[in-house]
Structure 1
Amino acid sequence: MPVISHRLVHAREPLAPKVPEITALFWVVKILTTGMGEAAADYIAHKNLAIAGAVGLLGFVAGLWMQFRARRYSAPVYWFAVMMVAVFGTMAADGPPLGHIGSTIFYALLLAVVLRRWYRSEGTLSIHGIVTRRRETFYWLTVLATFALGTAAGDLTADSLRLGYLTSGVLFAVVIALPAIAWRWFGLSEVAAFWCAYVLTRPLGAS
């Protein structure tokens, strides 16, 4: 009985921090992993679509399984999970036959739904508050939605709007500075600025 009680109490204890500090290095690595995820997804898909789907799904499951089992933040585990989510998110965005505009709208709505559910459930969207399993789950659902949305938005500007990847990259490099400017001088909340920038790293890295 004491053993069972100890386990129940331990299960309710807050998690140790499992996400990195938000520094300049975080954003650099985030952009690099998004580019790697895009390149890997496209390469595998061009070889064999069925194999690409299987590899993407297995990598996605394995990455999150390792991340959820980790007791605290581990850079290799965390960034492997991010890269696998990037691969899977790219495939998800390329999958539905909605067109680039339709996919962008769909994933924007999906992201809004996930964020709304997260906020209504936990009262915060801050990554500094990810100290429970429920919040960690919401966090990774949000990350997945941001990757899919970013992929769709990048394809929209590069292909549908015919800007090309270089021009799109320059465009998103400029746009990604706007959340920081809005936070610094116009009162945008830190959390909103973070998630806006997080979405924009995807099309920037892919371009």
Structure 2
Amino acid sequence: MSTEYVLEDRSHGHARARIRESANKVPEVTVYFWIIKVLTTGMGETASDFLAHTLGNIPAVGLGGLAFVASLVLQFAVRRYVAWIYWTAIVMVSVFGTMAADALHVVIGVPYTLSTPLFMIALAAVFALWYKSERTLSIHSIRTRRREFFYWAAVLATFALGTAAGDLTASIGLGYLGSAVLFAVAICVPAVAHRAGLLGAVTAFWTAYVITRPLGASLADWMAMSKADGLGWGLGPVTLAWTVAILVLVGYLATSRRDVGTA
């Protein structure tokens, strides 16, 4: 637990400090965290495409934006980490982040070769502002509103960056399966580098976090797309299957509390 001091004005003109306890607002990083994270990225990719094809790009972005805002309002409203609220917000970030990245390419016509570095710059800017303000990028200390704001800004930027990067690799000839293999290998690099003492824990975490987005999206696209490019299972069925998997795992964590820290 951490302590946040909030000044209150009293009728006698003096300011007194009220101590308010605030728990960490994000889950512990376990194997379940990474599995659900990859599942949310894939589900967000196919759900975004399914909504765009069903409703049209503009209505889908509007609906996704409303759901995204509502989920974050709920996440900010609670005082501690709640599994279903947190992962609902992650799913909505995944869906809306995918829509935002796709809208730049499909609606505005920005090529992936440009949007990928643009999102990379945006993420770097979020990290720079976060570190300048808080002197840390660790997710183990998300106990204030300001740190939570920076955290979700970084999460949204990672989803947009990962979407653009995954689409870029798929468009240059690797295809969805080839891209999935590439990112599966890539996600091992920060883990190995950290174990070897070549990369700090915070840098390794955020590097792997970015890579989960194109990894999950490439796998889901490979399952959903036509047999010329994938397995041909369809956007709707793949979205449903990955959603069920997410619900099962989040339900397990909500009851077992395996992802809740003791500090």
TM-score range, shorter chain: over 0.9
- Provide runs of 4+ in structure 1 moved above 3 Å: none
1:19 to 26, 37, 59: 26
Distance in 2 between residues matched to 1:153 and 1:49, nearest whole Å? 20
RMSD: 1.8
Match of 1:81 among 80, 83, 89: 89
Aligned residue for 2:165, secondary structure, equals helix
CA contact (8 A) 1:100 1:155 kept: yes
What SS does the aligned partner of 1:95 have?
Answer: helix
Equivalent of 1:66 in 74, 77, 92: 74
Return the alpha-carbon distance in structure 2 between the equivalents of residues 123 and 23 of structure 1.
Answer: 25
- Superimposed CA distance per residue, residues 131-152 of structure 1 (whole angstroms, 9 cap, x where no aligned partner): 1100000000000000000000
Match of 1:204 among 209, 215, 218: 215
Moved more, 196-205 or 93-102: 93-102
Q: Is the 8 A contact 2:57 2:103 kept in 1?
A: no
Greater share of residues in helix: 1
Q: In the alignment, residue 115 of structure 1 is paired with which amino acid?
A: F
Same amino acid, percent of matched pairs: 57
Contact 1:100–1:156 (8 Å) recurs in 2: yes
The corresponding residue for 2:45 is 38
- Matches of 1:62 and 1:157, distance apart in 2: 32
Question: 2:175 pairs with 146, 159, 164, which one?
Answer: 164
Rg bigger for which structure?
A: 2
1:119 aligned to 131, 151, 172, which one? 131
Contact 2:112 2:168 in 1 (8 A): yes
List alignment gaps of at least 5 residues for structure 2.
1-7, 11-15, 219-263
User: Within 2, Cα distance between the matches of 1:103 and 1:72?
Assistant: 35
Does 2:137 match 1:129? no
How far off is 1:18 after superposition?
1.1
Alignment TM-score, normalising by the size of structure 2: 0.74
Contact conserved, 2:61 with 2:100, CA < 8 A, in 1? no
TM-aligned CA deviation for residue 187 of structure 1: 2.5
Runs of 5+ consecutive residues of structure 1 not aligned to the other structure: none
SS of the aligned residue for 2:173 comes to coil
C-alpha displacement at 1:17, in angstroms? 1.3
**1-structure distance, mates of 2:21, 2:189:** 34
Q: In the alignment, what sits opposite 1:194?
A: 205
